[in-house]
Amino acid sequence: MKTIYQALADLDEKHEPAALCTVTQSEGSTPRHVGSKMLVYADGKFIGTVGGGDLENRVIKEALLSLQDGKPRKLNYTMADPARGDPGVCGGQVEVFVEPIFPAPLLVVVGAGHVGKAVAHLAKWLGFRVAVSDDRAEFCNPATVPDGDAFYPVSMNELPNHISIDARTYLILTTRGSAIDAAGITPLLESNAAYIGVIGSKRRWAVTVKALKEKGVEDAKIMRVHSPMGLELQAETPEEIAVSIMAEVLMVRDKGSGKRMGN
């Protein structure tokens, strides 16, 4: 059977979240000693134990909530009288600390040209897990984009079939034209991505929006897109543009304002 520590090490490799629950205080008669651990996965499965029974069921529920809101919690239980709502009759008191653990956020670069490669490089340096997608296989491989962690040489509209896009996923479209964006972006707009950005001028995005509306895409979904993406830095080179794009991604992720910090 896999140990807690082996399972923790596997989380990053499998790119999945879990909540680590640890008994941090124990007084009197309690089911488990200080240091006992349980790892709860997003689907409710778990390994390890903090005591079993109703106590453990309550901790699992709190662990799942922590994975939803991203916040740790300190749980205190008196185990004396179930009639008053206690989770047991042992007579002691127990404290459990629940810590949500998330893998690195996923940044998906769609379009592996000069700017896409620069974005992948900077995103990797910033601690993101980087996936690269391009319908041209010769552009979508480790030799061409060495900073990619995963590669998907498929058309944009097929991407959701290969990647689980959730609220910790950032989609960066550095494609080679409006026609490609209009043809493939609709399934991405249906996703739960935290950020969807499209490179290009205001005119290019206006052309794409017109095509999307002609296809019946709702305005609310189109409004999710940041385009032209990035913060205004007067960027010109691929590297400068990558800084502009990732600055906006960080601003959205961390709820920043984008304003200057000095006067």
pLDDT at 72: 96
* DSSP classification of residue 57: H
Can you read off the two tokens belonging to residue 33? 């000693």
For residue 26, is pLDDT > 70? yes
| DSSP string across 114-181 | HHHHHHHHHHHHTT-EEEEE-S-GGGSSTTT-TT-SEEE-S-GGGGGGTS---TTEEEEE--S-HHHH
pLDDT at 96: 92
pLDDT-above-70 percentage for the chain: 92
Banded pLDDT at 86 (limits 50, 70, 90):
very low
Sorted by where each starts, the structural domains of the chain and their CATH numbers stand as 4-101 (no CATH), 106-253 (3.40.50.720)
For residue 100, is pLDDT > 60? yes
Distance in angstroms (rounded) separating the CA atoms of residues 121 and 30: 51
Evaluate whether 64 touches 42 at the Cβ level (below 8 Å).
Answer: yes
The 10s digit of each residue's pLDDT in 121-137 is 999 999 999 999 999 99
Can you read off the two tokens belonging to residue 41? 């996965």
Neighbour-count burial for 65-78, b at 16+ CB within 10 Å, e otherwise: ebbeeeeebebebb
The 10s digit of each residue's pLDDT in 199-246 is 999 999 999 999 999 999 999 999 999 999 999 999 999 999 999 999
* DSSP classification of residue 84: G
pLDDT at 80: 54
- Summarize the confidence of residues 58-62 as an average pLDDT: 92
The 10s digit of each residue's pLDDT in 157-201 is 999 999 989 899 999 999 999 999 999 999 999 999 999 999 999
Number of Cα atoms under 13 Å in the Cβ half of residue 14: 12
Can you read off the two tokens belonging to residue 262? 């000095």
Q: Report the predicted TM-score, pTM, of the whole model to 2 decimal places.
A: 0.83
